[in-house]
Amino acid sequence: MALVPCQVLRVAILLSYCSILCNYKAIEMPSHQTYGGSWKFLTFIDLVIQAVFFGICVLTDLSSLLTRGSGNQEQERQLRKLISLRDWMLAVLAFPVGVFVVAVFWIIYAYDREMIYPKLLDNFIPGWLNHGMHTTVLPFILIEMRTSHHQYPSRSSGLTAICTFSVGYILWVCWVHHVTGMWVYPFLEHIGPGARIIFFGSTTILMNFLYLLGEVLNNYIWDTQRRMEEEKEKPKLE
């Protein structure tokens, strides 16, 4: 019974991401019509990552409920694969990319919103949708991390994967600039080539740091939980 609230919560989060994606795609913005469309923005890529991740979470919950007590080894094997995929996605993509988008967006926004989210966008994107893309991602992923234990991959493979994602996105941004002559993010227009290299390198380092932060946080949450359970199981001295 303890799993039911978590299952309902994951379904609600998945539906919220589907709603955000549908509303975002329905907006007719000039940037959506240019080369790369929505896929040139890390925010949109992150929304897709989060929606796919929570979709896998919901599918894992359903499979777990259907498999429980069945004794079918093939179903259990498939369930273990789903759980491994769910854990890998949280560790390598959902947590580091989600936290990166929230942190970097609001830091730059607080410094000068015109550099990351020009005031003109308020005419296209309502406030609730902006927060759905750039704020609620963080509490949603923290809730998931708190409600389910996730097995992280080996540190070397995890860092390799997040580095591959980071470098791949940087190359994609550079390619969009090569094709269109314009940078995806306005602030990149106002800094020199050397500063861009430093920025891109810093973002890759930050992604790696966030991966390690997620690993530490996951271990802390569940080591604390394990200790609390062990304390409860100890017989009370009379």
Note the pLDDT of residue 115.
85
Half-sphere exposure of 82 (CA within 13 A, CB side): 19
Report the candidate in 129, 150, 143, 149 with the shortest Cα–Cα distance to residue 10. 143
Note the pLDDT of residue 229.
59
Helix (H/G/I), strand (E/B), else coil: 234: coil
Q: Would the pTM of this model clear 0.75, i.e. be above it?
A: yes
Note the pLDDT of residue 99.
97
Stretch (H or E) spanning 21: helix 3-26
Contact 186, 118 (CB under 8 A): yes
- CA dist 132 and 179 (Å) reads 30
pLDDT digits (tens, 9 = 90+) for 56-65: 999 999 988 8
Put residue 68 in one of left, alpha, beta given phi > 0 → left and psi -120 to 50 → alpha.
beta
Note the pLDDT of residue 238.
45
pLDDT digits (tens, 9 = 90+) for 144-160: 999 888 999 999 999 99
In this prediction, the residues of the chain whose per-residue pLDDT falls under 70 are 1-4, 69-71, 224-238
